[in-house]
Amino acid sequence: MQTENNMPNYWLMKSEPDAFSIDDLAQQGPSPWDGVRNYQARNFMQNMQMGDLIFFYHSSCKPAGIAGVAKVAREAYPDHTSWDPTSHYYDPKSSPDHPRWFMVDIELVEKWSNVLPLSTLKQDPELSDMLLIKKGNRLSVMPIKPNEWQRINTHLKPNNKPR
């Protein structure tokens, strides 16, 4: 669904690389982002449109930070793991008739040469408003403002030149 204009929206999605890393995404191709069980994160995913761009963030590892870029390959649809009793993500209040949880598919755009650490993002005064940096933020899916997207890509993204 494309609405007012053709500009992509920008997002950030967190994953623990032990569970699902940017290399896993590269290997698997378009992959479902299942298991989100937070309403705010779900609502953000339901606002995603085909082609929207995503910072793929590695959390709970060192260094935690942005590992590369992905894009939305399928818009929101019901997360079937929510009604699978054998799934770790099972929610008895969700059913095929009344799905409570949704997911999108995402696809790798580029893996960066190095992870851009959270500590670097925190040092940049132009990024001080980022949700990611706010104290206590625990969202696993969040919007990124266009100026933040540009700033990170033009000034902070690790270069890919061989040494």
Closest separation in Å from C-beta 94 to DNA: 11
Q: Is residue 47 near DNA by the rule CB under 7 A? A: no
At 34, the amino acid letter reads D
7, 23, 27, 39: residue in contact with DNA (rule CB under 7 A):
39
14, 71, 111, 151: residue in contact with DNA (rule CB under 7 A):
14
Strands 141-144 and 10-15: antiparallel
Q: Is residue 119 near DNA by the rule CB under 7 A? A: yes
At residue 92's C-alpha, the angle toward residues 142 and 20, to 5°, is 40
Q: Is residue 147 near DNA by the rule CB under 7 A? A: no
Q: Is residue 118 near DNA by the rule CB under 7 A? A: yes
Instruction: Record the tokens describing residue 20, joined without a space.
Output: 């699902």
At 43, the amino acid letter reads N
DSSP 3-state of 125: helix
Q: Is residue 40 near DNA by the rule CB under 7 A? A: yes
Distance CA 137, CA 132 (A): 6
Closest separation in Å from C-beta 161 to DNA: 27
DSSP state of 8: P
Q: Where does this chain bind DNA (CB under 7 A)?
A: 14, 37-40, 59-62, 64, 118-119, 122, 134-140
